[in-house]
Structure 1
Amino acid sequence: MSARCIMVLGTTSGAGKSWLATALCRYYANQGLRVAPFKAQNMSNNARVVAAAGDGFGEIGSAQYFQALAARAAPDVRMNPLLLKPEADTRSQVVLLGQAHAGLSAMPWRGRSLEVWPQIAAALDELRAENDVVVIEGAGSPAEINLHESDVVNMRVARHANARCLLVTDIDRGGAFAHLYGTWALLPEDEQRLIRGFVLNKFRGDAALLAPAPQWLRERTGVPVVATIPMQWNHGLPEEDGVFDDRPHGAPGAVHTRVSVIAYPRISNLDEFQPLKNIAGVRLNWARSPADVEGADWIVLPGSKATASDMAWLRAQGLDAAITAHAAAGRRVLGICGGLQMLGEAMIDTVGVDGNAAGLGLLPLVTSFEAGKTVRLADVRFGELHGVWRQLEGVPVRGYEIHHGQTAQHPAMAASGDLARVVIPGIAWQNGAGNVLGLYLHGMFEDARVLRALFGEQALTLDAVFERMAHGVGQWFDPASLALE
């Protein structure tokens, strides 16, 4: 028997599709149902490593990874069969069923749909056959009529699954009722019939003031407003699609640690910093200028999908000098993946993957880019550490690697006696002074053992976040709208 399918569509990007789909995954899982998430195509540089066919590993979008955890299901490449990782404004790396695909990456956007739809449909059908419920997330808006003929992620998926569709809009931005009505009106009649409920998200104020708009919408569309979701500040779910709030983040309490994460244009895997936002006394801000890192206790250089380009941007902003001065003062600097590569002396690209660039020179390392990509889970232990990072010495950590670069000691600097301390072979290095640490491992802040070592406490767990979200669904929705026929 095929699973029943509920689909979350949005009037715009950032309307709250990923958040609501995650909440619904836990809501249905709490009913004792076998639940799987699905998003046919995701465009994001936030990716996770999951098990793939055989003994290999593959990539899926972070949102579907977290939705799988909310559903109490093992994350699977079929849950996000097509992942587009932007490398420039007009170019993305295409990942199909977990694996980078050079041929598809070179194809025009519209021509690609004919090639990928059979694999997308097969992945969805397999998940439907194995589960009671599949919670499907759309992308952008289903009313992007210029892309309707080549659609593989919105209404084509809804029709294929005969899904009950919820259309969510961000009422905090204004124009919510126009967005809902206009999106519905631009759909063909057979697709309009699949829209079973409108959802107002991020509402602040008195719900009584919404009248008579919901009734007006129902009279003209036949679709009821089935939920009004209050604004969820600091909800605890990692950010999605590179959309993040520029306000300083942190749990309540006196501030003891200020963390500045460099927000270069092609930042990737920014979702891994959510646990830092959930720790009392930690304040996190996204830094784009030297002024943004003033007074920081830590500077973090995160992952990047275009390391050489982002290194050039960093220099253009004057952040290179600010980071160097921060390190010279003995304060903590952490580089993760692309950030590790930037901390070294040089990045060398002879295969056309990323480009050549000089690094910040804070670690005596050199990175060479390779055509093949390292994609794997890692279960390792921090080795000997010195200086301010010494709390991590001997701490086990579980995370993941996604990188084209291969990093090693700079040979000429080694000959002169300038050596990086190897913390985890092939994964992590430290400078002599002990305040600069670079590693290829993503996800270290999601490991409770690391948080206890660094902060002496545990952040709000993801499972607690999922439960809170599911409880909200039970409060805010008309129960009939979530019934599975």
Structure 2
Amino acid sequence: MAKTIMIQGTMSNAGKSLIAAGLCRIFKEDGYRVAPFKSQNMALNSYITEEGLEMGRAQVVQAEAAGVKPSAAMNPILLKPTNDSGSQVIVNGISIGNMPAREYFAYKKNLIPEIEKAFHSLSEVYDIIVIEGAGSPAEINLKQDDIVNMGMARMANAPVLLVGDIDRGGVFAQLYGTVMLLEPGEREMIGGLIVNKFRGDKTILDPGLQMIEERLHIPVAGVVPYMDVDLEDEDSLGDHLAGKERTERAAVEIAVIRLPRISNFTDFQVFSILPEVHLRYVDRVSELGKPDMVILPGSKNTVQDLLWMRQNGLETAICKLEGAGVPIFGICGGFQMLGESLSDPHMVESESAASTIRGMGLLPVRTVFGKEKTKTRVSGSCTGIGGIFEDLSGMDVEGYEIHMGETTRSLPPLTYIMESQSGSHLAKMDGCQKGNVYGTYIHGFFDKEGIAGTIIKALMEQKGLTFEPGGSFCYEEYKEQQYDRLAKILRDSLDMERIYEIMGLRACLKTH
């Protein structure tokens, strides 16, 4: 059976996901077969596996760092918020319906066998499993029937590394308060403390580290600096939705509409890497300005987010930009919004009654929401595309679809694609284009080599500028470099010998 290590945090966004990913990479480099695991994840960023199952993207990032294929067993429960008090519940990659928070809290203990089954399926294959907790283990109102923090640690017999976020201040209070709110048996499971996101001279921190060790009788396993590593965020608490700072080379400005229920915002991360691009997220008309391109992202509730844009004036502002020739690109829910109408006969998204609402009217498509969710990986190529992005024609695309609803069009599609799930292959059409308005259901559309560069080249040429990329840019290679960089930083700042020791493994320390 696999050895385990669990990363818990004093709060959300303390850096658990990133440290877990870095440890996955380190163990891979040291010759171990390693897999990530998070029993329950709450996020609107999701992914479709080769088997057509849905899982959280945080574990996808960790699997990539570990050099293994993502599997729904790595995230057996995914909660996708539908409103402020309820979520869609996805178990082992398949939705079992929507539940209010209180109903799910009472129901979740029934899912323990599913969690155990998923964990043991990984444990039989891998040498090490890196487990990530959620939020804080000291949420005393949630400790009953806990399945994601100390409850999961007991299930997996996993020693715990507790991560505190010094960037928010009060890190020693975070660590001390969290540990003291745990039961005595739970405290004994913590094998080390980690201070994360530190800036400055570490020697100034040493007296505090010594004191916290003396008071808690738990060793400090490392002080991790604030890392300049470009990897996907798990959710909207991360830094990426703040946008990136404009650089001297940034000749193109792309505005992404920050919908209240935005999903899969990682679709646009490739643009944030290109120095020629200033990518920013906006949620009000006063912030929109006149960008070179507007992107409408995916949404967990397309209807409500379209109505939100209609009420705050963003819909009108975007239509005016389109009339001025600014290209508009919609992904998934954003593509549906661009159409003529959205119908919800089964009340999939409507809160009170079945309805049909008008879309933005920028694409000749109509969407009808059905009861079944489309979940599939796809690959194909762009068709005879016109408008500013005509050079996309003939280029390969790949990614995945996660959406409710079927869309019909009165113009040719944007892409011809092939579904590839569990050995079956189904050809179909996707998306639509009219003038400088484009829409597709494909998440990851911009990631395929050449796509983002072609779009930026067209936007720069429209402004009379020349796009001179520094060689061929491959997003996959870039991510691999970032995983290596993350592992190097963690090796330099964590006591890996101690971490191996608390896992019951002999240290295998490499020099990088």
Displacement of 1:32: 1.1
Give TM-score, length-normalised by structure 1. 0.93
> For residues 438 and 333 of structure 1, what CA distance do their matches in structure 2 show?
8
Matches within 5 A, 1:345-384: 345-355=340-350, 356=355, 357-384=357-384
Q: 1:239 aligns with which of 210, 224, 233?
A: 233
> For residues 30 and 105 of structure 1, what CA distance do their matches in structure 2 show?
43
Q: 2:492 aligns with which of 466, 470, 475?
A: 475
Other-structure match for 2:447: 446
8 Å contact 1:346–1:366 — kept in the other structure?
Answer: yes
Other-structure match for 1:27: 26
Displacement of 1:481: 2.7
**SS at 1:147's partner residue?**
coil
Displacement of 1:51: 2.8
8 Å contact 1:397–1:449 — kept in the other structure?
Answer: no
8 Å contact 1:251–1:278 — kept in the other structure?
Answer: no
Question: Are the structure 2 counterparts of residues 337 and 103 from structure 1 closer, same or farther at C-alpha, using a change threshold of 3 Å?
Answer: closer
> For residues 484 and 247 of structure 2, what CA distance do their matches in structure 1 show?
21
> For residues 164 and 98 of structure 1, what CA distance do their matches in structure 2 show?
27
- What are the Cα deviations for residues 279-314 of structure 1, in whole angstroms up to 9, with x where unaligned? 111111111112222131110000000111111111
RMSD over aligned Cα, in angstroms?
Answer: 1.7
> For residues 109 and 473 of structure 1, what CA distance do their matches in structure 2 show?
36
Range that drifts further, 236-245 or 439-448 = 236-245
Displacement of 1:145: 1.0
> For residues 344 and 120 of structure 1, what CA distance do their matches in structure 2 show?
40
- What are the Cα deviations for residues 253-293 of structure 1, in whole angstroms up to 9, with x where unaligned? 51121111101110000122211111111111111112222
Q: Give ranges in structure 1 of 5+ residues lacking alignment.
A: 410-418
**SS at 1:312's partner residue?**
helix
Matches within 5 A, 1:187-336: 187-233=182-228, 235-245=229-239, 247-249=242-244, 253-336=248-331
Displacement of 1:153: 0.7
Are residue 155 (structure 1) and residue 147 (structure 2) matched? Answer: no
> For residues 365 and 45 of structure 2, what CA distance do their matches in structure 1 show?
26
> For residues 251 and 190 of structure 1, what CA distance do their matches in structure 2 show?
50
Are residue 69 (structure 1) and residue 84 (structure 2) matched? Answer: no
- What are the Cα deviations for residues 184-209 of structure 1, in whole angstroms up to 9, with x where unaligned? 11111111111111111111122122
Other-structure match for 1:415: none
Other-structure match for 2:460: none
Displacement of 1:326: 1.1
> For residues 454 and 310 of structure 1, what CA distance do their matches in structure 2 show?
26
Displacement of 1:358: 2.0
> For residues 250 and 99 of structure 1, what CA distance do their matches in structure 2 show?
39
> For residues 218 and 225 of structure 1, what CA distance do their matches in structure 2 show?
7
> For residues 485 and 298 of structure 2, what CA distance do their matches in structure 1 show?
30
8 Å contact 1:250–1:278 — kept in the other structure?
Answer: no
> For residues 97 and 227 of structure 1, what CA distance do their matches in structure 2 show?
34
Question: Are the structure 2 counterparts of residues 334 and 82 from structure 1 closer, same or farther at C-alpha, using a change threshold of 3 Å?
Answer: same
> For residues 248 and 390 of structure 2, what CA distance do their matches in structure 1 show?
25
Other-structure match for 1:413: none
Q: Give ranges in structure 2 of 5+ residues lacking alignment.
A: 417-428, 457-468, 505-512
Displacement of 1:450: 1.6
8 Å contact 1:250–1:276 — kept in the other structure?
Answer: no
Range that drifts further, 178-187 or 291-300 = 291-300
> For residues 118 and 107 of structure 1, what CA distance do their matches in structure 2 show?
20
Give TM-score, length-normalised by structure 2. 0.88
**SS at 2:446's partner residue?**
helix
Other-structure match for 1:40: 39
8 Å contact 2:86–2:98 — kept in the other structure?
Answer: no
Q: Partner letter of residue 375 of structure 1?
A: K
**SS at 1:261's partner residue?**
strand
Displacement of 1:252: 5.0
8 Å contact 2:376–2:402 — kept in the other structure?
Answer: yes
